Structure 1
Amino acid sequence: MIQQLRIYEIYEHNKAAFHARFRDHAARIMRTKYDFKFVAMWETTFGGRTEFVYVLEWPDEATKIAAWSALMADAEWTEIKRVTHAEHGLMVGTIEDRLLMPVDYSPVQGRSLVPGG
């Protein structure tokens, strides 16, 4: 198992709209169409900016790459982003994406972090 850390800069003025879009649309599409496995999600403030942070779990890097490619090409997701951007403006600033590979002495080495996984 590998984990993926995603950090999105989000904006206070449309934070509620961002969370509604992610909760009601992005996460649904990611889970149901492309088998994204969410470990956890957080909101934090760092360096004077508000961030939405989440961790995904993948069996391997090839699966991660294929799922993200499919999501980025998904017509429903493309349309949702278009509509919400028109209504609320830019909802995400900087995006950080990190692949987390457990070291051989990690307590999570080889096991799933997904609840029930």
Structure 2
Amino acid sequence: MIYELRVYRVLPGRMPNMLARFRDHTVKIWESHGIRALGFWTTLVGESNNDLTYIIPWESLAERETKWTAFVNDPAWHKARDDSERDGPIVATLRNEFLTPTDFSALK
């Protein structure tokens, strides 16, 4: 199992739009492609309170490639993204990392 950690730095004032996009559209589209997030977090205390962080578990990088490619090419995703950015961009930056658990990790 690998875990993809994604951190979106959201533009100031645009977090409600970002959260609505995930809550109302993205998660449902993911489900149609067999993608399930482990969890979502906003930053209470840290470098920026404009961060949205989530983790997706994958069986392998090959699974991620197949499912993520299907998601990013889905017309429903393009519509949701475009509609949510009608008043301007939401994301300032995106960072993602692929993590592997240690032998003593609670998540394997």
| TM-score, normalised by the number of residues in structure 1 | 0.82
Structure 2 residue aligned with 1:52 = 52
Residues 27-106 of structure 1 aligned to structure 2 (within 5 Å): 27-31=27-31, 33-44=32-43, 46-48=46-48, 50-86=50-86, 88-106=87-105
RMSD: 1.5
Structure 2 residue aligned with 1:24 = 24
Structure 1 residue aligned with 2:13 = 13
Task: Name the structure where helix makes up a greater proportion of residues.
Answer: 1
Structure 2 residue aligned with 1:112 = none
DSSP-derived class of the 1:13 partner: coil
Deviation at 1:61, TM superposition (A): 1.1
Residue deviations 1:47-82, cap 9 Å, x none?
Answer: 345100001111111001111111111111111211
Q: Do the aligned residues in 2 keep the contact of 1:37 with 1:58 (CA within 8 Å)?
A: no
Consecutive unaligned residues of structure 2, counting only runs of 5 or more, are none
Cα distance between partner residues in 1 of 2:51 and 2:99:
19
| TM-score, normalised by the number of residues in structure 2 | 0.88
DSSP-derived class of the 1:37 partner: coil
Equivalent pairs counted in the alignment come to 107
Consecutive unaligned residues of structure 1, counting only runs of 5 or more, are 110-117
Q: Which runs of 4+ in 1 moved over 3 A?
A: none
Task: Name the structure where strand makes up a greater proportion of residues.
Answer: 1
Cα distance between partner residues in 2 of 1:73 and 1:38:
19
